Amino acid sequence: MTGTLFGVGVGPGNPMQMTYEAVEIIKQTTHIAIPTAKPYAADTSFHNDTTSASPQNRGVLALNEILTKCSAYQIALGQVPELPDKKILPVYMPMTKNAPSLEKAHQEGAALIQQYLDSGHDVAFLTLGDPTVYSTYMYVQQRLLPLGYNCRIISGIPSFCASAAELTEALSVKDEMIHVIPASYPTLDALHFPGTKVFMKSGKQLPRLLSELREHPELYQSVQMVENCGMPTQKCYSSLEEIPENAGYFTTIIVK
Amino acid sequence: MTGTLFGVGVGPGNPMQMTYEAVEIIKQTTHIAIPTAKPYAADTSFHNDTTSASPQNRGVLALNEILTKCSAYQIALGQVPELPDKKILPVYMPMTKNAPSLEKAHQEGAALIQQYLDSGHDVAFLTLGDPTVYSTYMYVQQRLLPLGYNCRIISGIPSFCASAAELTEALSVKDEMIHVIPASYPTLDALHFPGTKVFMKSGKQLPRLLSELREHPELYQSVQMVENCGMPTQKCYSSLEEIPENAGYFTTIIVK
């Protein structure tokens, strides 16, 4: 029988924020797929340069390096200590906007998982936060669902809910709207939306976003930010003045 | 020492979708506040008519009726079987838009909880979904936080993430935005937002929302709906044609 693909949200960072369902699915599943921003050294298709001694010199990573760098894996490990005994499938998800490179990586990732589903194994693909909100899992599901594979999404706490919680702040009350905006969208246009604006993963675009916020104080009541929400390195900022220009990639900015 | 107020999200319906953190906080806390849409019979301030025999005849409810009707309590009970042994504080949250009635109820609810915090008890206020997204908990926190009380939000899976999961559908990929829209907002204006539109708690407004969607098919690619997400009565609808006019209050409509 063909296996089932689970997209499992492990929440924003703290293993205590995982759901019982997510932990149960991970425990029951023998094959765990995890996203990696650099290719896996054991994957021979990426071995263009076999002369270098260290995998890192070739721009690829050994499995232990991938596991250390993968936040979703590290979070799950906090509730499922037997995770290292399972078969880990690193899925290469390059952080690039180059469409052909992305297409190639997503196709190869889907093909890798498809192979295990075909041989009857269930596969749990771990994602940070919630699988329905900007997750790499969706690139795999989008390819396998139309082929008739059984896919199930296991919800996780999205980082923007966890960020508002850390700020002890509502995202919305009464009839307020919430707008979740990826950093690539023009800030100034987004600031005109009524209600709460949540800017996600604003890392690289942060200086531009902050400068637009500083130029248009008439468009908002408050600006708050959480960096690395749920991680040991988490920091909260409760006003625009406090926010540094050089924050990391996992920043969530809440504008009211 | 003054107690801490916890706003605890129990997720959309399935106790398995509760987080480990939410369950731990509920287990550790002796006093559990729950919202009730009708006043609690034991609360003498609502006993206007003491001649009727049954509490229900007076528009008030006995504690066991409140517990049965409270979704958040029933969900938590699924993971915390010792819940009935705790001190339950029903907080009257009338479903009305009458501002003075709301203000009075919220003030009384905050005062009730304040009394227990002052006597050194921690209080966990249970909310369906996530406390930062349209929860009644916020009306209490908004009053107690400025008074210097220690308030902590424990995130839960919001119903719109769980609804997208049940539909095996992304809320957003790449640079798509997500707009969470309460039913009271004009549908037609909201349909012009770029990206994914999530209409929450559209119950009463459903016929108007559906008719506007039917009149403007050019404004969307797909319309899907989940009714009573995570509850035993859950139903999914994957197109506009399938959606009935008479759906319940807890409906989430996802328009792409």
User: Which residue in this structure is represented by tokens 């340069």?
Assistant: A49
- For chain B, state the CA radius of gyration: 20
Asked if B170 reaches chain A (Cβ–Cβ under 8 Å), the answer is yes
Q: Does residue B46 carry a pLDDT above 50?
A: no
Q: Does residue B53 carry a pLDDT above 50?
A: no
Asked if B103 reaches chain A (Cβ–Cβ under 8 Å), the answer is no
Contact between A56 and A188 (Cβ < 8 Å) = no
Mean pLDDT of A241-246: 87
- What is the predicted pLDDT for the residue at B45? 52
Shortest distance between the Cα of A56 and any Cα of chain B, in A, equals 28
CB contact under 8 A, B157 and A133: no
- What is the predicted pLDDT for the residue at A239? 94
User: Per-residue pLDDT tens for B60-102?
Assistant: 889 999 999 999 999 999 999 999 999 999 999 998 888 999 9
Residues of B in contact with A166 (CB under 8 A): 153
Give dist(CA A71, CA A37) in Å, integer.
Answer: 11
From B20, B138, B180, residue closest to A177, measured CB to CB: B180
| Token pair for B104 | 């009075």
User: Per-residue pLDDT tens for A35-58?
Assistant: 999 888 876 554 444 444 445 445
Q: What phi and psi values does residue B174 have, to the nearest 5 degrees?
A: 50, -120
Contact between A35 and A136 (Cβ < 8 Å) = yes
| Token pair for B245 | 């006019």
Q: For chain B, report the end-to-end CA distance as a whole number of angstroms.
A: 51
Give dist(CA A51, CA A150) in Å, integer.
Answer: 42
Give dist(CA B13, CA A235) in Å, integer.
Answer: 32
**What is the pLDDT confidence band of residue A24, given thresholds at 50, 70 and 90?**
very high
**What is the pLDDT confidence band of residue B52, given thresholds at 50, 70 and 90?**
very low
User: Per-residue pLDDT tens for A104-146?
Assistant: 999 999 999 999 999 999 999 999 999 999 999 999 999 999 9
pTM (2 d.p.): 0.93
| Token pair for A202 | 């604003």
Instruction: Give residues with Cβ within 8 angstroms of A16, minimum separation 6.
Output: A78, B19, B20, B21, B24
Residue B37: CA atoms inside 13 Å, Cβ hemisphere, count?
8
Maximum pairwise Cα distance, chain B: 63
Q: What phi and psi values does residue A14 have, to the nearest 5 degrees?
A: -85, 120
Asked if B131 reaches chain A (Cβ–Cβ under 8 Å), the answer is yes
**Identity of the amino acid at B39:** P
Query: pLDDT over 70 for what percent of chain A?
Result: 93
User: Per-residue pLDDT tens for B105-126?
Assistant: 999 999 999 999 999 999 999 9
- What is the predicted pLDDT for the residue at B153? 98
Asked if B152 reaches chain A (Cβ–Cβ under 8 Å), the answer is yes
